[in-house]
Amino acid sequence: MVTAYCVKCTAKRDIKYPEDTTLKNRRPAVKGTCPECGTKVFRIGKMPEGG
């Protein structure tokens, strides 16, 4: 599972509905929502295999 820091919960959470995306500078990233509060979360880096 991919984790990201949720600003609203002030904790690291697993990303709900993770989606691969690419930044303008071609770096990979993952975006999704926090399962606790529903806030959008974002993490720079590739999604691990099987995730």
Q: Percentage of the chain surpassing pLDDT 90?
A: 82
Q: Which residues pair with 43 in a beta bridge?
A: 30
- Checking if the pLDDT of 51 tops 70, the result is no
Average pLDDT, stretch 20-43? 96
- Name the residue ranges covered by the structural domains of the chain: 3-44
pLDDT at 50: 62
**Cα distance between residue 29 and residue 8, in whole Å:** 20
Residue 12 DSSP label:
E
**Cα distance between residue 43 and residue 21, in whole Å:** 10
**Cα distance between residue 48 and residue 50, in whole Å:** 6
**Cα distance between residue 18 and residue 30, in whole Å:** 6
